């Protein structure tokens, strides 16, 4: 069972690149972030033709998350409780009704920049709301995988030059501590269990030749409940995808990250 997460940075603008990767890797489930479209504008037919069931929580121009699955999806939840006025489409959750069911998410945690503004306060509140939901899900004792773009650099080694990130919301002490709190709850970071030997980054900026110089960061994560972590068999960062391009589209600044399970 292969489960992937990918911030695609506009699903329609990069559709050809995305579909090429899906045809090659054929994930059983994939969480997408930063769709940048409303539900009605999602390219359902393109993914349905590849055999996927689809759940979408979209938003015009910004944000937007989706879950694509070769198996039926049920118990679909859009958004996090705790802030009724929050209209940003950043969280989607569903049960994958495979022979051995499991629960997945598509998380697009707020960026939070610049520090000292409402954007950063919103990020911290959003993390607390996610923490509350993650705690509830652990109590279910299910196979649960919290997948997505967390916009958190967990450790200094997860960025090419820590000194350049000290004033960034992705690298603040309290944000990194929050990521550790998820693990203290009982979730395991798939990267920790099976770290790749050749690369740990999942994002390279479009500016200043970051991709060419390998100046990346790790912000796309799979956090697994104990029931899921026990079945983990492989972890892959699809680094080469950052260099993909077609006549009509270039790659996202993020790459897909996959976990595989013996369920």
Q: What digits encode the pLDDT tens for the residues 46-64?
A: 999 999 999 999 999 999 9
Task: Single out the catalytic residue among 57, 221, 222, 254.
Answer: 254
* 16 annotated as belonging to a binding site for a ligand: no
222 is catalytic: no
Q: Is 7 annotated as a binding residue?
A: yes
149 is catalytic: yes
Choose the catalytic residue: 28, 91, 149, 150.
149
Packing angle, helices 118-139 and 173-185, rounded to 10: 10
Give the model's pLDDT for residue 246: 87
**pLDDT value of residue 122:** 98
pLDDT above 90 covers what percent of the chain? 97
Task: From the candidates 52, 108, 150, 201, give the one annotated as an active-site residue.
Answer: 108
**Contacts within 8 Å (CB) and 24+ apart, 208-213:** 211/242, 211/243
- Residue 159's pLDDT band (boundaries 50, 70, 90)? very high
DSSP state of 136: H
Q: Is residue 108 flagged as an active site residue?
A: yes
Q: What is the pLDDT of residues 10-42, one digit of tens each?
A: 999 999 999 999 999 999 999 999 999 999 999
Report pLDDT digits (tens) over 106-141.
Answer: 999 999 999 999 999 999 999 999 999 999 999 999
Q: Is 253 annotated as a binding residue?
A: yes
Q: How does strand 102-108 pair with strand 144-149?
A: parallel
Say whether 141 counts as a known binding-site residue.
no
262 in a labelled binding site: no
Q: Is 158 annotated as contributing to ligand binding?
A: no
47 — phi, psi (to 5°)?
A: -85, -35
CATH number of 2-261: 3.60.10.10
Which spans in the chain are helix H?
Answer: 15-25, 44-48, 118-139, 173-185, 190-193, 226-229
What is the residue-averaged pLDDT of the chain? 97
């Amino acid at each position: 069972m292969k489960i992937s997460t990918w911030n695609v940075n506009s699903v329609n603008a990069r559709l050809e690149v995305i579909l090429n990767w899906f045809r090659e890797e054929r994930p059983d489930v994939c969480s997408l972030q930063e769709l940048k479209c409303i539900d009605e504008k999602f390219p359902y037919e393109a993914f349905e033709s590849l055999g996927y069931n689809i759940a979408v929580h979209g938003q015009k121009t910004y944000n937007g998350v989706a879950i694509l699955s070769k198996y039926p999806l049920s118990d679909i939840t859009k958004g996090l409780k705790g802030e009724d006025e929050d209209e940003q489409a950043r969280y989607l959750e569903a049960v994958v009704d495979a022979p051995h069911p499991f629960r997945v998410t598509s998380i697009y945690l707020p960026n939070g920049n610049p520090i000292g503004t409402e954007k950063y306060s919103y990020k911290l509140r959003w993390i607390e709301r996610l923490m509350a939901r993650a705690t509830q899900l652990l109590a279910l004792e299910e196979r649960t995988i919290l997948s997505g773009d967390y916009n958190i650099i967990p450790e200094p080694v997860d960025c090419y030059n820590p000194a350049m990130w000290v004033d960034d919301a992705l690298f603040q002490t309290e944000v990194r501590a929050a990521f550790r709190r998820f693990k203290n709850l009982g979730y395991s970071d798939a990267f920790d269990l099976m770290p790749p030997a050749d690369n740990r980054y999942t994002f390279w900026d479009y500016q200043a030749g970051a991709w060419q110089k390998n100046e990346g960061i790790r912000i796309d994560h799979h956090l697994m409940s104990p029931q899921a972590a026990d079945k983990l068999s492989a972890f892959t960062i699809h680094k080469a995808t950052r260099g993909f391009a077609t006549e009509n589209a270039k790659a996202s600044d993020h790459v897909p990250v996959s976990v595989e399970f013996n369920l």
